[in-house]
Amino acid sequence: MATPRIVALDMDGTLVESSGSIPEEFWGLLDRALGAGMVVAPASGRQLATLQHMFERNEPDTFIAENGAVVWHKGEIVSVSPLPGEAVRRVVDALDSAPFTAHAVVCKPEISYTAETTPPEVQSEVDKYYLANAHASSLSDALAADPDDTVKIALFVESDAERDALPWLAEVAPELNVAVSSHHWIDLMAEGVDKGVALNALAQQLGVRREDTAAIGDYLNDYAMLEEAGYAVAMGNAHPDLKAIADEVVGTNDEHGALCRIERWLEA
């Protein structure tokens, strides 16, 4: 394709190396992309505060956070998609009797909450993705103030999220959109909310045609984003389902496959 005007760029497993770092080469590439008028939109299950911190060295104009439930553009949150409060409470209350062990993160637009009983090793995983996180005596307490402003529930599943939690959630909260983010993480958003919907809304807001958008990702929470994009790129380390729908498969995240693809677009 010709050089896209918008590139939605997943973070973990795509831009971020296995070490957890953004490659040093990315910053110069981002400068060139922005200078060429390309909108590079980090698109992640991470919260907005975490993305802003990761990019404080050179902040793009746009972030797609919380798997599409929060969209930030040019200094302000332009889109928030909350979950129904009743469904949030139903999931939180049912977790104690779930046939697997999981720990919930209740996500608001600018802060998240975990129970103070969350095991330290799990909380350390939470802290990687939720910089603005507070502890609550219980998740019910976190919901008490305003149960209707929750934009996402993230579950850290100690076993296999796709195998164990996905079918259970389909029974407990069939009206919610569920995205498997990794082996242990699974996210719940409102119906019709995902990275693909957020990319489409962003393109419409900026007056960009669908065929002038691209998306790069590696896991199942990127599936809708790759489907929606004019050009879909799957990483070499991507889930097989993403590779099956991609227009192109590039190198792995540790091989900087996403950076190489953006570099080729800029050279074109």
- Determine contact, residues 161/221, Cβ cutoff 8 Å: no
In the chain, the DSSP E strands lie at: 6-10, 39-43, 62-65, 70-73, 76-80, 102-107, 112-115, 133-136, 152-157, 177-180, 185-189, 213-217, 231-234, 248-249
Q: Which of 139, 157, 189 is the last residue of a domain?
A: 189
- pLDDT score recorded for residue 143: 82
Measured in degrees and rounded to the nearest 5, phi and psi for residue 83 equal -85, 155
Q: What pLDDT digit, counting tens, does each position of 62-111 carry? A: 999 999 999 999 888 988 999 999 999 999 999 999 999 999 999 999 99
Q: Identity (one letter) of the amino acid at 102?
A: A
Q: Which of 149, 170, 189 is the last residue of a domain?
A: 189
Q: How many folded domains does the chain comprise?
A: 2
Neighbours of 128 (CB within 10 A): 11
Residue 202 and residue 185 in one domain: no
- The CATH number assigned to the domain holding 177 equals 3.30.1240.10
Is residue 93 included in any domain, yes or no?
Answer: yes
Q: What pLDDT digit, counting tens, does each position of 192-233 carry? A: 999 999 999 899 989 999 999 999 999 999 999 999 999 999
- pLDDT score recorded for residue 78: 87
Q: Identity (one letter) of the amino acid at 200?
A: N
Q: What pLDDT digit, counting tens, does each position of 140-183 carry? A: 877 876 768 999 999 999 999 999 999 999 999 999 999 999 99
Residue 54 and residue 89 in one domain: no
Residue 185 and residue 220 in one domain: no
Q: Which of 166, 189, 212 is the last residue of a domain?
A: 189
- Determine contact, residues 213/196, Cβ cutoff 8 Å: no
Residue 169 and residue 254 in one domain: no
Residue 50 and residue 107 in one domain: no
Residue 163 and residue 127 in one domain: yes
Is residue 1 included in any domain, yes or no?
Answer: no
Is residue 212 included in any domain, yes or no?
Answer: yes
Residue 45 and residue 97 in one domain: no
> Which pTM value belongs to this model?
0.88
59 burial via Cβ count (<10 Å: 0-12, 13-18, 19+)? middle
Q: How far is CA 87 from the centre of its chain?
A: 21
Q: Encoding tokens for residue 89? A: 């409470």
Residue 176 and residue 97 in one domain: yes
Residue 75 and residue 89 in one domain: no
Measured in degrees and rounded to the nearest 5, phi and psi for residue 194 equal -165, 180
- The CATH number assigned to the domain holding 28 equals 3.40.50.1000
Residue 63 and residue 91 in one domain: no
Task: For residue 268, name the pLDDT band (cuts at 50, 70, 90).
Answer: confident
Q: What pLDDT digit, counting tens, does each position of 28-54 carry? A: 999 999 999 999 999 999 999 999 999
Q: Domain of residue 45: give its range.
A: 6-80+193-267
Task: For residue 1, name the pLDDT band (cuts at 50, 70, 90).
Answer: low
Is residue 100 included in any domain, yes or no?
Answer: yes
Residue 174 and residue 129 in one domain: yes
Residue 105 and residue 165 in one domain: yes
Q: Is the pLDDT of residue 17 over 80?
A: yes
Question: How many Å apart are CA 188 and CA 191, to the nearest integer?
Answer: 9
Is residue 165 included in any domain, yes or no?
Answer: yes
Is residue 103 included in any domain, yes or no?
Answer: yes
